[in-house]
Structure 1
Amino acid sequence: MNITWPNFNRNQLILAASGAIVIILLLFALLRDSGNVVTLDQATKLIENNQIEKAFSDGDFTYFATKENGVVKIASSQLPASLTSHLVIEPKGGNGWGWFFLFFALIGGAGYWAWKSKLGFEDDTPIESPVVKAPTEAEAPSTNVTPVKSTVRFSDIGGIGDVKEELEEIIDFLRNPKRYYSFGARMPRGVLLVGPPGVGKTMIAKAVAAEADVPFFYQSGASFVQIYVGMGAKRVSELFNAAKKNAPAIIFIDEIDAVGKKRGGERNDEREGTLNQLLTEMDGFEDTSGIVVIAATNNIDVMDAALLRAGRFDRRIFVELPTATEREAILNKYLRAIPHELSISDVAKMTVGFNGASLAALVNEAALLCMRQNEIQVKIEHFLAVKDKVMFGKKKIAMLSDEQRRYQVRYQAGKIFAATWFDLPYEKITLTNDAITPPTAEPQLCHEIEAHVRVHLAGIAASHLRFGEHASNASHDLSVAKDLVHAMVYEYGMGSTVLPKAEDETKLTDRLYQEMSALLERHEKIVSKFESILDEYEQISKSLAKATMNEIL
């Protein structure tokens, strides 16, 4: 038998809710223990002053009904028998739980009767379960895409001089688009900010919107991945349509790799549909639309090639961990409102590997420690005391001790020498990071791939020449070198024979390592000079490295 489930109107729901509230209040008044707890001294005074009108006990507590203070209670174990020997203490009555169960039994019976009469069926009639429909695309939740007005300025962000220069052109375009149109030039449609977590990619995008004084549309890549089929693509379309209505505008997609991963392998139709819609939208708006898409990612290697090609995200800006000078600028921003007596440059030198977020946490922890110690100014001692606390709370940030720093300087100096010697493309190499472009040109010549392998082995070779060992930070370089050698032997036929042999990988890797080690040993003077520069400035540009090498050779 098909039945119609009852639909309660608004008045019935309000009446039911009101009744529930009244029941809860009545039960609270009925069941709550209203006696105020008193101390033994207070109870003694009440008894000695003849303030007790009635006394009763429930075993755990003894209650006194007083003339002026109402009902008070004290733990029975605290009362000496001599104090209450002249009082008649009666057992306390029931606590109301019987009324509680009776009350709810009546309410439950009335509710069941009302529900049954509303349904209108006989006792022996089986109830058919209602069919629950899965939500369709039309029923899926819709989004209301609205822009925000960014209040973050470049002046609020320290240590981003290089990034700021790259983005000033975008800001000028959004302010004066006609200047570029009349010259026949077009701005990049997409700007991809690449860097580790915590370096301020989101703040940089907000600063661009604020400096250009345009609407800012923020979305995270994860927000496009929906459980409803087609909903992710719909959200992408809504986002771009809203931006077009508010042009000139900036669309910022944070963690874009969540939706822009390489296609193939494990199939995800919903994510691929969303990515296809994003690609279509970025191709769909004209060069004169006044829309710039800025995206951020921690891992550019996993992104789909179609998203990175020219005409989409054709400008990439790498936001690296700050150097000592940049950390000093960031610390100046965070400390300007905090009373302090310290050398900010000293704090900057002791925070190798800290990003902007961890520097903010360090300053805040130092300020809190200063307040706990009731001091009026933050000192270097406060930073030294909380550094470990911040360090171990930031898992993916490499913090270097003095000994680790010496190893890291030597390791990176070896890589700088190799990358400069073989003239591989890079802008700068820092103490904690390097951006050496992997070989991508086709066809790749054998000596070009070998040069890249040598660079990835150079840090290990340089460390062994100086210290006789190397650190675990070589794992990434060693993994890249192994992948390149494997491809040379098994994919490109560049081993001892065209057909691959298992021992060819070991022989090729050993030969390239020995050659790199001998080259570094012959030019130890250049490597040592790179160490000195890296130790002082924590970065070396390619132009400086070439000039230094040419000066010594």
Structure 2
Amino acid sequence: MPNSKINRVLLYASAFIIIALVLFAILRDNASDITLHNAQKILENHSVKSVTVTKDYVYLKTDNEFYKIASSQVTPKMFVNYKVEVDSGSSVIVYILFGVLFLGLGTLLLRWWQKKSPLFEGGGVSSASRLDIAQNTPVEAIKSDVKFSDIGGISDVKMELEEIIDFMKKPARYKSFGARMPRGVLLVGPPGVGKTMIAKAVAHEAGVPFFYQSGASFVQIYVGMGAKRVHELFHAAKNNSPSIIFIDEIDAVGKKRDGQRNDEREATLNQLLTEMDGFESQSGIIVIAATNKIDVLDSALLRAGRFDRRVFVELPTKRERVSILEKYLNKVPHNLDVMAVANMTVGFNGASLAALVNEAALLALRQNDFQVNTEHFHQVKDKVMFGKKRLQMLSDKQKAYRVTYQAAKAICATYFDLPFEKLMLSNEKLTPSIDEPLIKHELESRVKMLLSGMVASDIKYGEHASSAKADLDEAKELVTKMLKDYGMGSSLISTDEENRILMSRLYNETKLLLESMTSAMQAVEDVLIERESITKADVRKEIDAVL
């Protein structure tokens, strides 16, 4: 396919060069300039065979030479004995060649525009042709340049996969002991933790070809096309064994078969199952797949003999975040405590940490600073977590409500030591939603923080704003989970009344806390009015002054 495209380009280029050379040869004026005296001499010798007159020159052609003299230097009497031809400058051949040249260029430009224009997806090619081209594109291995040393914070995962790398390097050692290589490895974890990079690192460390496909690439509108693609993928891997096949987002093609008719998806999944069962013991192929939804995968795909090993890639711990940050800060001039940045990035995945470092570096450049410091990370953290929001155009009264609301959340979050480093007046959310297991009092602390803004507004103004909806919804959801899902009520089966009682108790406890922190609240509000932001350390100082 690539060779035919190159040959076609060379053919077009050769045709244009030939046409250009012909036009140059025809249009090039190769006549020699002569003086009037020499022209008269040539005419008197009767050696001139033809005389051609143009607007600017008179051309004299002899047996061996071709001369020209400016029309302003000659008179008609000089050519009385000759038949004079008048050249109007037009040539049918020239026009034809120019037309061919322009048509060729126009055709190429039109084809290029069709390929680029969204109105002509596939460059004017029909859907069936595009599908045929896509399906007949050969599956090729890609070269992985990612090393394990390039990935920070996955020490446990490395230990799991180093055995597979050693197996691919020294298969005889394991076979002599009666052990067989796992047929499949399933990487399970939330988005952004580096599952694709891990698979590439395995291929690089093992020194084997790496075949990458996303699960979505197998899902086609025509029955049989996805299955064909699966077969081609495994066939190419076998021809290049030992090798690694990596299927990203395998849940797109490997969802549970629930009996509802979907011939294409089931045909593709059946082909995948068949190919994984059809491995010969010496095939030297390992299938690595990634998903963040293992619960939706078909049980046939998860059974032993297909994906023999499951590796769970979790969000990085504090120590792992330090390792990841050091990798990304390696080429960024900085003057900061990496551990402090790791402390403020609870819940960040590897991709978010990369974005955080990049945003901090861009901010330092905008501010003309020579190094990235901790303050840059404080300023961009909320932008990476929640997106950048401008403070709405608020009236003085609305802004006063917002200041009180945010000050109360900062007070509660600091008092209960919830993970945050800096509060911005423009951001409703203070800390990200959490999924890890928490003790009952930790969940109650988070609910109190979510209710605190509304409580403070009710205390100070006797009412609160509609912007409390997001926090109130999250508080209700947490309380419901505590009672119904986590069994943290007075009995394992909760009631609506118990839900109301718990929410009311947490509201009242939050109210008592904030009423005891009046002076700290006022101090935090003053800072927010002045700077529209406040750090956790500053809030801690105000709370300590009260306690």
TM-score (norm 1): 0.52
The superposition leaves residues 183-237 of structure 1 with CA deviations (integer Å, 9 ceiling, x where unpaired) of: 0011221111111111100000000000000000000000000122100000000
Question: Conserved in 2, the CA contact under 8 Å of 1:342 and 1:378?
Answer: yes
1:388 CA drift (Å): 1.4
Q: Note if 1:207 corresponds to 2:201.
A: yes
Residues 386 and 143 of structure 1: CA distance in aligned 2, closer, same or farther (over 3 Å): same
Residues 242 and 475 of structure 1: CA distance in aligned 2, closer, same or farther (over 3 Å): farther
Equivalence for 2:360: 366
For 1:293 and 1:393, locate their aligned partners in 2 and report how far apart those are by CA, in whole Å. Answer: 37
Equivalence for 1:302: 296
Equivalence for 2:305: 311
For 1:507 and 1:133, locate their aligned partners in 2 and report how far apart those are by CA, in whole Å. Answer: 58
For 1:332 and 1:465, locate their aligned partners in 2 and report how far apart those are by CA, in whole Å. Answer: 33
Q: Note if 1:261 corresponds to 2:255.
A: yes
- Choose 262-271 or 466-475, whichever is displaced more: 466-475
Residues 186 and 265 of structure 1: CA distance in aligned 2, closer, same or farther (over 3 Å): same
Residue identity matched to 1:352: V
Q: Note if 1:330 corresponds to 2:330.
A: no
For 2:168 and 2:411, locate their aligned partners in 1 and report how far apart those are by CA, in whole Å. Answer: 46
Alignment of 1:364-403 (within 5 A): 364-393=358-387
Equivalence for 1:170: 164
Which of 276, 281, 290 is the equivalent residue of 1:282? 276
Question: Conserved in 1, the CA contact under 8 Å of 2:413 and 2:449?
Answer: no
Question: Conserved in 1, the CA contact under 8 Å of 2:484 and 2:492?
Answer: no
1:371 CA drift (Å): 1.1
Which of 235, 246, 249 is the equivalent residue of 1:241? 235
Equivalence for 2:212: 218
Q: Give the root-mean-square deviation of aligned CA atoms.
A: 4.1
Question: Conserved in 1, the CA contact under 8 Å of 2:153 and 2:319?
Answer: yes
For 1:346 and 1:371, locate their aligned partners in 2 and report how far apart those are by CA, in whole Å. Answer: 21
Determine helix, strand or coil for the equivalent of 2:380.
helix
Kindly indicate which of the two structures has a greater share of residues assigned to helix: 2
Determine helix, strand or coil for the equivalent of 2:261.
coil
For 2:350 and 2:388, locate their aligned partners in 1 and report how far apart those are by CA, in whole Å. Answer: 12
For 1:473 and 1:189, locate their aligned partners in 2 and report how far apart those are by CA, in whole Å. Answer: 45
Residues 370 and 184 of structure 1: CA distance in aligned 2, closer, same or farther (over 3 Å): same
Determine helix, strand or coil for the equivalent of 1:252.
strand
Identity of aligned residues (%): 65
Residue identity matched to 1:312: R
For 2:181 and 2:444, locate their aligned partners in 1 and report how far apart those are by CA, in whole Å. Answer: 48
Question: Conserved in 2, the CA contact under 8 Å of 1:363 and 1:383?
Answer: yes
Residue identity matched to 2:217: S
For 2:270 and 2:415, locate their aligned partners in 1 and report how far apart those are by CA, in whole Å. Answer: 48
Equivalence for 1:270: 264
Determine helix, strand or coil for the equivalent of 1:317.
strand
For 1:474 and 1:183, locate their aligned partners in 2 and report how far apart those are by CA, in whole Å. Answer: 58
Question: Conserved in 2, the CA contact under 8 Å of 1:192 and 1:316?
Answer: yes
Q: Note if 1:352 corresponds to 2:352.
A: no
Determine helix, strand or coil for the equivalent of 2:211.
strand
Question: Conserved in 2, the CA contact under 8 Å of 1:219 and 1:253?
Answer: yes
Residue identity matched to 1:218: Y
Question: Conserved in 2, the CA contact under 8 Å of 1:137 and 1:230?
Answer: no
1:247 CA drift (Å): 0.7
For 1:133 and 1:464, locate their aligned partners in 2 and report how far apart those are by CA, in whole Å. Answer: 57
For 1:168 and 1:219, locate their aligned partners in 2 and report how far apart those are by CA, in whole Å. Answer: 23
Question: Conserved in 1, the CA contact under 8 Å of 2:188 and 2:290?
Answer: yes
Equivalence for 1:439: none
Equivalence for 2:423: none
Q: Note if 1:231 corresponds to 2:250.
A: no
Determine helix, strand or coil for the equivalent of 2:212.
strand
Residue identity matched to 1:178: A
Determine helix, strand or coil for the equivalent of 1:250.
strand
Gaps of 5+ in 1: 1-9, 19-131, 411-430, 436-457, 486-505, 518-553
1:386 CA drift (Å): 1.1
Residues 474 and 310 of structure 1: CA distance in aligned 2, closer, same or farther (over 3 Å): farther
Which of 148, 161, 169 is the equivalent residue of 1:154? 148
Question: Conserved in 2, the CA contact under 8 Å of 1:140 and 1:228?
Answer: no
Residue identity matched to 1:190: G
1:408 CA drift (Å): 9.3
Residue identity matched to 1:304: D
For 1:240 and 1:476, locate their aligned partners in 2 and report how far apart those are by CA, in whole Å. Answer: 46
The superposition leaves residues 255-300 of structure 1 with CA deviations (integer Å, 9 ceiling, x where unpaired) of: 0000000001532110010000000101110232111100000111
Question: Conserved in 2, the CA contact under 8 Å of 1:407 and 1:463?
Answer: no
The superposition leaves residues 371-403 of structure 1 with CA deviations (integer Å, 9 ceiling, x where unpaired) of: 1112211111111111111111399xxxx9895
Residue identity matched to 2:144: S
Residues 476 and 145 of structure 1: CA distance in aligned 2, closer, same or farther (over 3 Å): farther
Paired positions, count = 327
Equivalence for 1:91: none
Alignment of 1:378-457 (within 5 A): 378-393=372-387, 433-434=435-436
For 2:446 and 2:306, locate their aligned partners in 1 and report how far apart those are by CA, in whole Å. Answer: 46
Equivalence for 2:402: none
For 2:260 and 2:128, locate their aligned partners in 1 and report how far apart those are by CA, in whole Å. Answer: 25
Determine helix, strand or coil for the equivalent of 2:176.
helix
Q: Note if 1:195 corresponds to 2:186.
A: no
Question: Conserved in 2, the CA contact under 8 Å of 1:193 and 1:316?
Answer: yes
For 1:380 and 1:214, locate their aligned partners in 2 and report how far apart those are by CA, in whole Å. Answer: 42
For 1:479 and 1:147, locate their aligned partners in 2 and report how far apart those are by CA, in whole Å. Answer: 47
For 1:193 and 1:401, locate their aligned partners in 2 and report how far apart those are by CA, in whole Å. Answer: 38
For 1:481 and 1:256, locate their aligned partners in 2 and report how far apart those are by CA, in whole Å. Answer: 35
Residues 194 and 155 of structure 1: CA distance in aligned 2, closer, same or farther (over 3 Å): same
Determine helix, strand or coil for the equivalent of 1:183.
coil
For 1:237 and 1:402, locate their aligned partners in 2 and report how far apart those are by CA, in whole Å. Answer: 60
1:364 CA drift (Å): 0.7
Larger Rg: 2
Residues 190 and 401 of structure 1: CA distance in aligned 2, closer, same or farther (over 3 Å): farther
1:459 CA drift (Å): 4.1
Question: Conserved in 2, the CA contact under 8 Å of 1:137 and 1:228?
Answer: no
Residues 271 and 349 of structure 1: CA distance in aligned 2, closer, same or farther (over 3 Å): same
For 1:316 and 1:432, locate their aligned partners in 2 and report how far apart those are by CA, in whole Å. Answer: 24
Residue identity matched to 2:301: L
